[in-house]
Amino acid sequence: MGHHSCCNKQKVKRGLWSPEEDEKLFSYVTNHGHGRWSSLPQLAGLERCGKSCRLRWINYLRPDLKRGSFSPQEASLIIQLHNILGNRWAQIAKHLPGRTDNEVKNFWNSRIKKNLGPHEVIPALASFSNIHNPSITGSDQESFFTTLITNPNLSLHQQEQPYLPSLTTPLPLSSFYHDDHNTLKLDYTNNTSNFLHFPSLVQLPSNYSSSYDSSGSLGYQPHQFDPNHQHSQVLNSIEVAPNFNIGNELIMVPSMASLPGYDHENLSVVPDMPQFCVNIDVSVKLIGVRSLMQSYHRCQYLHHRCLRTSAASSSLSPLQNSHLFITNPNVHSSLGSLSS
């Protein structure tokens, strides 16, 4: 077991850092910044390898580090994120301001892991890893979503959504209009990329009242919806359904049957879709299990649609480009690939 190449070139000290070494490193990085760790030790007067300096800075000296034990909220978040991300400690740590990957990893291995017995599989993990297994139904699926919903802090950064080109903002009221049949429709004019990017859930003003339609049919009340809206610039549309209230918030999600190419008579898809990657955004914070289940089914539908689309054109990327995205109002969240 040799040392790193950077450590072979010079006499390096190993083991715990002394206060004097910390002072040298802190002073140097504070004054000069970092960026070239390999040359830093010599410049800073340290007999350490660059890697050791980097680690010491990141895990201990960085001024933005949070000290002290993890709060219950942080622990909960780590568990939730670990269900989704696995042992990707650096990714997990990014959601815990002031915490390092090393810290999170140590915390997991020393505290959480031992408290989760072999039979205590967290529902989110079990359900999500099997999300495309048709045998996973009903309560299992629901427990998966429930786990998400009960953690309002769940939020993953955009970089974990490799196929999401930009953050989605809630659609304004002006995005909607009524068609000739008085059906509420959503402008769909922003599909400029390879992405058929569904809008986020739409949050309407609290004075807009509607009731959740438990039958799953379109339950909105058109006369209550922005009667003055002009829709002369509508280029395309997606029907929106169903909507429902949670507290004072009205939630709307795109209807599966409103997708371009959907064959209403045969309940199937016209396989000439130009887009092969679909993002579905739903609000974890505001949404209920039922609507998440509806979104899940939509994802399944889209999954199959992507399959068919990919098969229809060899130039299209395969299915691994299909992702389910769940978002909360703060940051978007990727739950992983839909590909199996």
User: Which residues inside 23-82 make contact with DNA, applying CB under 7 A?
Assistant: 35-39, 48, 50-52, 54-56, 59-60, 69
Distance set, CA 258 to CA 274, 321, 322 (Å): 16, 22, 19
In the complex, the smallest distance separating the C-beta of residue 100 from DNA, rounded to whole angstroms, is: 8
Tokens found for residue 18:
């002394």
Kindly state the number of chain residues that form the binding site for DNA, as judged by CB under 7 A. 42
Compute the distance between CA of residue 221 and CA of residue 252 in angstroms, rounded to an integer. 12
250 forms beta bridges with 204, 245
Instruction: Quote the CA–CA distance of 2 and 4 in Å, as a whole number.
Output: 7
Q: How far is the CB of 113 from DNA (least distance, A)?
A: 9
Q: Which is nearer to DNA, 118 or 247 (CB)?
A: 118
> Which lies closer to DNA via its Cβ, residue 44 or residue 201?
44
Backbone torsion region of residue 182, taken as left when φ is above 0, otherwise alpha when ψ lies between -120 and 50, otherwise beta: left
Among 83, 91, 210, 243, interactor with DNA by CB under 7 A: 91
Residue among 28, 107, 128, 163 that touches DNA (CB under 7 A) = 107
Coil, strand or helix at 239: strand
The correct pick among 33, 63, 110, 117 for binding DNA (CB under 7 A) is 110
CA dist 19 and 33 (Å) reads 20
- Residue 276 interacting with DNA (CB under 7 A): no
Do 260 and 224 touch, CB atoms closer than 8 A? no
The span from the CA of 258 to the CA of 235, in Å, is 15
Question: What DSSP element (H or E) covers 43?
Answer: helix 40-44
**Cβ closest to DNA, residue 56 vs residue 185:** 56
Contact window for DNA (CB under 7 A) among 98-106, 148-156, 211-219, 318-326? 98-106
- Asked if 241 and 220 touch (Cβ cutoff 8 Å), the reply is yes
Nearer to DNA, 37 or 212 (CB): 37
Find the binder of DNA among 27, 42, 87, 214 (CB under 7 A).
87
Among 7, 246, 257, 307, binds DNA (CB under 7 A): 7
Q: Which helix (H) or strand (E) holds 100?
A: none
**Of the candidate residues 8, 10, 14, 248, the single one contacting DNA (CB under 7 A):** 14
| Chain residues in the site for DNA (CB under 7 A) | 1-7, 13-17, 35-39, 48, 50-52, 54-56, 59-60, 69, 87-91, 101-103, 105-107, 109-111, 114
